[in-house]
Amino acid sequence: MTVKRYNINKNKIMSRPSNQSANWQFNVAQLQLRHPVSNAPIPQFGNFRDDTGECLGVTSEQYGLIQNSELLDAARAALDSRGLSGYTEKIIVAGDGARFYATFTFANKQIASSVGDVFGYQLTLKNSFDRTIRAAMQLGLLRLVCLNGASTLEKEFGVTRKHSSKVSVDFLGDAIDKAIANGQNALGVFDDLASVELSDEQGINLLAQFVTLDVLSKSLQDNIKTLWLAPRRQEDKARNVYNLYNAVTEHLTHKVAPERFEYAAKTNNNVLLRLVNAVRNPAKFAKLILPVPGEGVSVTVDAASFANSTGAGIIDVETVG
């Protein structure tokens, strides 16, 4: 590979926008950096794109690279060897190419929840050249009635222990097996959400509280509130926490993710985690549906009554993220 010139913008490396595109077909070379004054080699290495010459991250010599094409080919081969075909594939890179995501959606491989929804599997393969994420496979689900992408609380599967000079793609087969095997278990959190009724006003209060907690932006809150109050499908008209989450995923999937994939995925996961923690802890839920000062919606909830009516009990769950 021949690269004529490399431009390193230190501020850009430290604080990189989430610029995303479908242009993932490039290789990355790890080259030793030099002191700007003496030109002497320094211990840090830069990870440079071969097409643009841009530095995607600064690492040590021991930080091993997995090329996107190598990882993708291995994932496709692992899926094929397991008879997992008929999927749709979408690939994006973010951070000007520093982070890679390949999503495999299986509308033909379905599982049903006890609340009556049918989901397809959605596996997301990850990679990075800036040390922010490890090579891994993430389990997600696609709600087929509306094609909303639902997050799960399952951990990433087959994560490389660390990027080292010996890093390999051998983890992928086992990662796919574990992700598929955990699909039904992942649906359990949706049953928890559907078991808790929520009025229109309580849902509005909850979204407003998420704004104060920096879980949602004000613009996200406004768009999600519209979907919550005027659901587009009969399946979403029941007033419960699960359908509030469906309003969140509908907006994030169809309006946010096409341009801001990482932001949508992070927000989706954070909302789900906080909702599950809340419905499993009535005291937290009671606070979460109180009106934010100035919102003008008043709701009174007794935690003990809520626990008795839902059978959830008082569960101490800490919110993470």
Mean pLDDT of 200-219: 97
* Cβ–Cβ under 8 Å, residues 70 and 169: yes
pLDDT tens-digit series, residues 74-132: 999 999 999 999 999 999 999 999 999 999 999 999 999 888 899 999 999 999 999 89
pLDDT at 198: 96
pLDDT tens-digit series, residues 235-286: 999 999 999 999 999 999 999 999 999 999 999 999 999 999 999 999 999 9
pLDDT band at 39 (very low <50, low <70, confident <90, very high): very high
The more confident residue out of 216 and 305 is 216
Q: Is the pLDDT of residue 149 over 80?
A: yes
C-alpha angle with apex 18: 16 to 24, nearest 5 degrees?
Answer: 105
Question: What is the pTM (predicted TM-score) of this model?
Answer: 0.82
pLDDT at 314: 35
C-alpha angle with apex 240: 234 to 243, nearest 5 degrees?
Answer: 50
pLDDT band at 147 (very low <50, low <70, confident <90, very high): confident
pLDDT at 167: 63
C-alpha angle with apex 303: 298 to 204, nearest 5 degrees?
Answer: 35
pLDDT band at 15 (very low <50, low <70, confident <90, very high): very low
pLDDT at 170: 83
Q: How far apart are CA 228 and CA 319, in angstroms?
A: 24
Q: How far apart are CA 231 and CA 173, in angstroms?
A: 40
Q: Is the pLDDT of residue 165 over 60?
A: no
Mean pLDDT, the chain, integer? 85
- How would DSSP label each residue in 211-248? HHTTSS-HHHHHHHHHHHHS-SSGGG-S-BHHHHHHHH
SS3 content of the chain, % helix, strand, coil (to 5): 40, 20, 40
Q: How far apart are CA 208 and CA 299, in angstroms?
A: 13
Q: Is the pLDDT of residue 9 over 70?
A: no
Mean pLDDT of 160-165: 51
Bridge partners, residue 138, by sequence: 124
